[in-house]
Amino acid sequence: MLLPPSLLSEKREFRAHRRMAMTPDCVPLQNVDHVGQLIVAAADIMNVHTAIAKTCNILHRSISVNNMLITKLPENKVRGVLIEFDCAKDISKVDCKTRPERTGTYPYMSINNLEISNVKRTQLDDWESLIYVLCWLGTTGINQDDEKLFDRADGLPIGDWQGISPEKVATSKRDKLQTPDSFVNNILAKFLKLPGYSRLRALVGVLYMKMFFNESYSSFFHGTITKAKPLLVEEDDSDEETSSPDSPVYQDEEQDDDARNPFKRRADYAENIADDLLKVLLKEREKALGRIRKRYEKEMEAPL
């Protein structure tokens, strides 16, 4: 599905169309020439993804490299296209009491999806998948030329995400994304040392922090592991000397398993967090377009 950015403005009417392409109009995502084009394509796709989720209540549920295409435009520009809505679902009609089914491709599936957890599926599951897509491309190469130079996913921590067991893949992702240090050491530090990849690495780092360690929310929203159940400190007036004035007294809410599950907490504020993520991506899109424009101008000025 492809919508021009101008049509996604709140001032324009949103229209949903069904069309059948009789001739190829797009090429696979890994036909991008450089990181700038990848960022533009990813931003276009998640912009459309957000519009569909908000306006039509449709969640794609299968963000992956294979379902993200590009259309090449004049002046070295590209536009991202999101396809394959076979797994899409009307989230307004989802029965919250029914355990969600597993959808997608292991390396790009969200942790909730891999584990078939009872946490409701939201936009954040697809955003998590996007982060995995960018991590994969940043580590193994954004196009075939870069892949030929660094065909080494099996020897890297991210190679665990290709596992045959969804539970093991989920465990690997939990471990590598649990803390910023773990994410940097296991994933970001392994990005290719090629032109433009440092920008992709920085973008993925910001998206990760907005998703898993958003400063607008408490520590119960952070990370990938349910916090340990805190011990209640009972007040005992009969023995004031033995009680520690620094011992915390926790609220009942913090005793609840769901309240201490960061995925559950984030799901309750999914739209707000998704908006934060989209703002980051659209801002980087504009920067990337500026670099693409300068690159094209230099190419036009170069002598034949």
Instruction: Give kind and range of the element (H or E) at residue 79.
Output: strand 78-82
The total of structural domains in the chain comes to: 1
Is residue 292's pLDDT more than 80?
A: yes
Please give the average per-residue pLDDT across 71-80, as a whole number. Answer: 94
> For the residues 134-150, what does the mean pLDDT come to?
90
Q: What percent of the chain has pLDDT over 90?
A: 67
Q: What is the mean pLDDT of residues 42-55?
A: 96
What is the mean pLDDT of the segment spanning 6-31?
Answer: 70
Contact 200, 37 (CB under 8 A): no
23 vs 265, more confident: 265
Say if 304 falls within a structural domain: no
Give the C-alpha separation, 156 to 187, whole Å: 9
Q: Which residue matches tokens 């005992």?
A: 236
Percent over 70 (pLDDT), the chain: 80
Q: Give the length of the chain.
A: 304
Smallest Cα–Cα separation from 142: which of 288, 261, 266, 298?
Answer: 288
CA R_g for the chain: 22
The answer to the question of residue 9 being in a domain is yes
* CATH classification at residue 87: 1.10.510.10
Mean pLDDT over the full length of the chain: 86
Residue 167 falls inside a structural domain: yes
The identity of residue 205, as a single letter, is G
Residue 295, in any domain of the structure? no
pLDDT > 50? residue 256 = yes
* 1 close to 81: Cβ distance less than 8 angstroms: yes
**Lowest-confidence pick of 8-22, 90-104, 122-136:** 8-22
Residue 102: predicted pLDDT: 77
Residue 27, φ and ψ in degrees, nearest 5 = -130, 160
Stretch 116-121: mean pLDDT, rounded? 92
Q: Which amino acid does the sequence have at 181?
A: D
pLDDT at position 103: 76
Write down the pLDDT at residue 93.
Answer: 72
How many angstroms separate the CA atoms of 276 and 273, rounded?
A: 5
Domain-located, residue 193: yes
Q: What would the pLDDT profile of 233-254 be if each residue is shown by its tens digit? A: 554 544 444 444 443 434 444 5
Higher pLDDT, 44 or 93: 44
In three-state secondary structure terms, 28 is strand
Q: Kindly list the distances between the CA atom of residue 233 and the CA atoms of 4, 111, 226, 250, 286, in Å, as whole numbers in the listed order.
A: 57, 33, 21, 8, 52
pLDDT score of 13 more than 90: no
Q: Report pLDDT for 98.
A: 55
In this model, does residue 1 exceed pLDDT 80? no
Note whether residue 138 is domain-resident: yes
Residue 217 lies in a domain: yes
pLDDT of residue 227: 78
Provide the residue range defining the domain that includes 192: 5-283
163-178 average pLDDT score? 95
Determine contact, residues 182/205, Cβ cutoff 8 Å. no
State how far the Cα of 104 lies from the Cα of 126, in Å rounded to an integer.
10
| Residue 289 within any structural domain of the chain | no
**pTM, entire model:** 0.85
- Backbone φ and ψ for 110, nearest 5 degrees, come out as -65, 160
**Best-predicted range by mean pLDDT (1-15, 22-36, 203-217, 227-241):** 203-217
